[in-house]
Amino acid sequence: MSPETLFAIIVFAFVSSITPGPNNFMLLASGVNFGFRRTIPHMCGIGAGFFTLLMGVGFGLGALFTTFPQLHIVLKIVGGLYLLWLAWKIATARSLSSEKGAKARPMTFMEAAAFQWVNPKAWIMAVTGMALFTRPDAPYLSVFFVAAAFALVNFPSVSTWAGFGTALRGFLADPVRLKWFNVTMGVLLAASVVPMLW
C-alpha cells in the first residue's frame, strides 16, 4: 500500500471518527456527567467494537446486506430504537455523578463495543472505508490496513469529545444548565436517527 493511500485512509478515518454522531454525542454527555476517567471504558469499547466491525465487514459481513436487504432494515429499526432509548436516558439525567454508588453510570466497555454493531454511522463508516480502500489483489492485507488506520485515530478522536465534556463539568455544575445540556444532547442523539431512515 502506497504512502499516499495510507494517508488517505488515515484522513478518512479521522474525519469520519471526529465528526458528530451517536458515539461522540454520548461521549460528550458522559464526559460531562461522569468525568474523563470514568468514560475511558466507554471510549475503549468504541475502539474495540468498531475494529471488530471493520474486520467483519472487510471479510465479507457487509455482503450480507447486499444479499439480504431485509437485514439492513432490521439493523435500522434495532439501532434506531436503541439510540432513541439512549437519547431518553441522557435527556432525563439530572445530576453530575462522581460517586461510585450513584444510580447513573457511564456505558461499560462491553456495552460500547456491542453498540457499534447496531450503530448506523459505524456501519456506514465501515462499509465505505472497506469499499474505498481495500484492494482485490491484497484483500486480507488491505482490510487489516484499513482497520489499523481506524484503530490509530479512533481513540484520540473520541477522547476529544469526552475531554470536551469533562471541561464543561464546572460550567454545568449548575443543575439548570446541566438539565438543558442533557436535554440538548438527548435531542441531538435522537436527531442522529433521522438520516438513517432514508
Predicted model pTM: 0.81
More confident residue, 191 or 25: 25
Cell of 27: 461521549
> In the structure, what pLDDT confidence band is assigned to residue 198 with cuts at 50, 70 and 90?
low
Domain residues of the chain, as ranges? 3-197
Q: Residues, the chain, total?
A: 198
Residue 102 confidence class, pLDDT cut points 50, 70, 90: low
pLDDT of residue 84: 84
CA-CA distances (angstroms) from residue 63 to 69, 72, 129, 147?
10, 11, 14, 17
Q: Cβ contacts of residue 138 below 8 Å, gap of 6+?
A: 1
Predicted pLDDT of residue 124 = 84
Out of 42-51, 118-127, 184-193, give the one with best mean pLDDT.
42-51
Q: 3-state DSSP: the chain helix, strand, coil percent, rounded to 5? A: 80, 0, 20
